[in-house]
């Protein structure tokens, strides 16, 4: 007989935030290669917003679907993807100095 895991409100909110951050970060990281592919004619601002929003809502959906067991994987994914964005930002800033 399966037992139901009781999750505190704070932990549920954090899981939702992790899903939002992970999804939004993934959206941003997927948008950048498209910009590199199409060059300056690529509409950066609107697509960045759309990719981030779509990723965030996808992350929220994943967080809801996984339930309490998604806390750790989503937290890990959020941390890794945010680190990826920071590394990408640093690389872009360094490349513009040359």
What pLDDT score was predicted for residue 6?
A: 75
Q: Give the mean model confidence (pLDDT) for residues 48-63.
A: 96
Where does the pLDDT of residue 1 fall: very low under 50, low under 70, confident under 90, or very high at 90 and above? low
pLDDT-above-70 percentage for the chain: 94
Q: What Cα–Cα distance (Å) separates residue 27 from each residue in 3, 23, 49, 59, 78?
A: 35, 6, 9, 10, 12
pLDDT confidence of residue 98: 59
Provide the terminal-to-terminal Cα distance of the chain, rounded to the nearest Å.
63
In this prediction the pTM is 0.85
């Amino acid at each position: 007989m399966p037992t139901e895991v009781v999750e505190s409100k704070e932990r549920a909110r954090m899981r939702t935030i992790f899903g939002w951050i992970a999804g939004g970060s993934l959206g941003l990281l997927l948008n950048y290669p498209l910009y590199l592919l199409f060059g300056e004619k690529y509409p950066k601002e609107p697509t960045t917003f759309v990719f981030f929003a779509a990723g965030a809502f996808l992350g929220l959906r994943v967080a809801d679907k996984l339930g309490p067991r998604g806390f750790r994987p989503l937290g890990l994914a959020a941390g890794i993807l945010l680190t990826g964005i920071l590394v990408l930002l640093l690389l872009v800033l360094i490349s513009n100095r040359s």
